[in-house]
């Protein structure tokens, strides 16, 4: 009897795992502008996206030269919160820095 109930438990666990669906992911993009300083962009990448200073500088240069750069890929609510944090941070400092979401 013990073996039978253990097998049933395993089967129901497999069914549960199969029915769990991962949330869709979104890419957070940061856009270049003529007013936001490079130093502020690096600070935002470090503070909000937890990038290392080296990685933040690399992303900042990509944004500067290409017009936009990827900051990370997150579930929708997390991505939306990070965009909001960057916008709030930029407004406090008087910069028009923009971020957007794009489905990954």
Q: Among 55, 43, 21, 52, which Cα is nearest to 90's? A: 43
CATH 3.30.429.10 given to domain 23-103: no
89 touches 42 (CB < 8 A): no
Residue 20's pLDDT is what?
87
The residue assigned the tokens 């029915």 is: 19
d(CA 96, CA 83): 13
Give the confidence band of 16 by pLDDT, cuts at 50, 70, 90: low
pTM of the model: 0.81
């Amino acid at each position: 009897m013990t073996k039978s109930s253990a097998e049933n438990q395993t089967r129901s666990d497999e069914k549960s795992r199969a029915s769990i669906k991962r949330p869709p992911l979104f890419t957070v993009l940061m856009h270049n502008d003529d007013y936001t300083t490079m130093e502020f962009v690096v600070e935002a990448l470090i503070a909000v996206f937890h990038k290392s200073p080296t990685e933040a500088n690399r992303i900042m240069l990509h944004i500067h030269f290409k017009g936009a750069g990827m900051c990370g890929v997150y579930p929708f609510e997390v991505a939306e919160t990070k965009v909001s944090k960057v916008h709030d941070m930029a407004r406090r400092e008087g910069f028009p820095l923009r971020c957007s979401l794009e489905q990954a």
